[in-house]
Structures are given as C-alpha cells and as structure tokens.
A and B are shown apart, each in its own frame.
Chain A
Amino acid sequence: KNQVEQSPQSLIILEGKNCTLQCNYTVSPFSNLRWYKQDTGRGPVSLTIMTFSENTKSNGRYTATLDADTKQSSLHITASQLSDSASYICVVSGSYNTDKLIFGTGTRLQVFP
C-alpha cells in the first residue's frame, strides 16, 4: 500500500534553534518528493521538490534531503523563526503517468520565543 509516514507528529522548539523533520514512504514507483508548509486554515505552499536522482535541495533556511534507496527524506530548518510555526507535509508523487499526490499527515511545528 502506498503510504507516507512522518515523524515526529508534533515538535516544539525555541526561536533560533534548528530542527529536522522526517519522512518515510512506501510509494512505488516513485517520481518525486515534495515538502509543503501549511499554515492553519490555509493551502499548502511548496518548499522543495526532488526527483529520485537528487539528494538534497535548499530553499533559504529549508534544506531537504532524499535517500531513494531507503525511501527516506528529511527537512532541516535552520535558525527557526516564529513564522515557521506551521504544519510541514511530505508529499510523494508515484509516477509521471499519474496526477495523484500522496500526502503524509504532517509534522506540526511550533516555534516559541
């Protein structure tokens, strides 16, 4: 069964600190993996997209890694800010022949001053 699992479910950190969120997937075949940020009551906003041949991709303070062999990805947030408080969702696309994205349940990040 195609699934995307994320950990931790929630995370609390202090402003300025770094954190790493994890994603494991069992989707096959695999096309690409995306990380989205979703503020409460808003639509997801794309942070990074990686194909199977990419190991890492950065977008400002966000750095995503991908290990297609172990089917794991991580999202590292550097020097966290209060505005980073949101849900971070790992999303996998199974194939270029399908439009269907498979979403993880997300990690709820709270950044406190």
Chain B
Amino acid sequence: EPEVTQTPSHQVTQMGQEVILRCVPISNHLYFYWYRQILGQKVEFLVSFYNNEISEKSEIFDDQFSVERPDGSNFTLKIRSTKLEDSAMYFCASPWASGNNEQFFGPGTRLTVL
C-alpha cells in the first residue's frame, strides 16, 4: 500500500515563531494536499498543490501559510508567525492513481503553539 510520511510527528513552538512541516508523498506524484484538524473538530482542507503550483486553497490558507517543493520528493507547509489557534494536527495527503482520486493521508504532525 502506498505510504505518505510526515515529519516531525510533534512540533512545539512559541507564538510568533515560524514552523516548517514536511511531507514525503507517494513517489512520482505531482499532486499533494494539506489539511488541518483542530483537536475535537473536523478535518479542514487547506491547500492543494500540483506541479509546483498552488491548485486550490481554502479561506483558512491566508498569507501566514505557504507551500513549497524544495526538492524532488519533499513538500513543505510553512506557517509564519504562529498563533495559538494554529495548534492542530496537520495532515498531508497524496492521491492514488485511480479515477476516483482516492487520497492517502500521512500520519500527521501535531503542532502545539505555546
């Protein structure tokens, strides 16, 4: 089964600091997605990224956020000047090569902003 990996598993940061969350999607896939899940709440779409460009983003994905593909395999989600309300699980997802665009989720990074 295809695997999506994320690092770190847990990140603790001070309010106002920048954090970078990393994801290694299914190899050779050009699409990937970032989602957020605040504790006790539903998963929310943040952004989709295709072929080195943002394909779609939600209203949550404001100027505080950015996504990059710094090399051929890793994707990153950068949060500038973190706020307390950014504390959440952040999942990346990568689609499988099926007509229904099934998405495989990584294990998530738990971000805690103090």
Contacts and interface: CB of A to CB of B under 8 A. Distances in A.
Nearest to A102: B45
Given A41-B110, A103-B42, 16 more contacts: A32-B100, A36-B105, A43-B4, A43-B106, A44-B43, A44-B105, A49-B100, A51-B100, A93-B101, A100-B45, A100-B56, A101-B103, A103-B43, A103-B45, A105-B41, A106-B42
B58 interface: yes
Which label, helix, strand, loop or mixed, suits the secondary structure of the A interface?
strand
A43 B56 contact: no
A43 B45 contact: no
Which label, helix, strand, loop or mixed, suits the secondary structure of the B interface?
strand
Interface residues on B, range: 20 to 34
B31 to A, nearest CB: 8
Contacts of B93: 43
B67 to A, nearest CB: 13
A68 to B, nearest CB: 15
B90 to A, nearest CB: 10
B107 A103 contact: no
A51 B106 CA distance: 24
Interface of B: 4, 31, 33, 41-45, 48, 55-56, 58, 89, 91, 93, 100-108, 110
Given A42-B107, A43-B108, A51-B100, A99 B55 contact: yes
Nearest to B55: A99
B42 A98 contact: no
Nearest to B104: A46
Interface string A32-50: 1010100001111110010
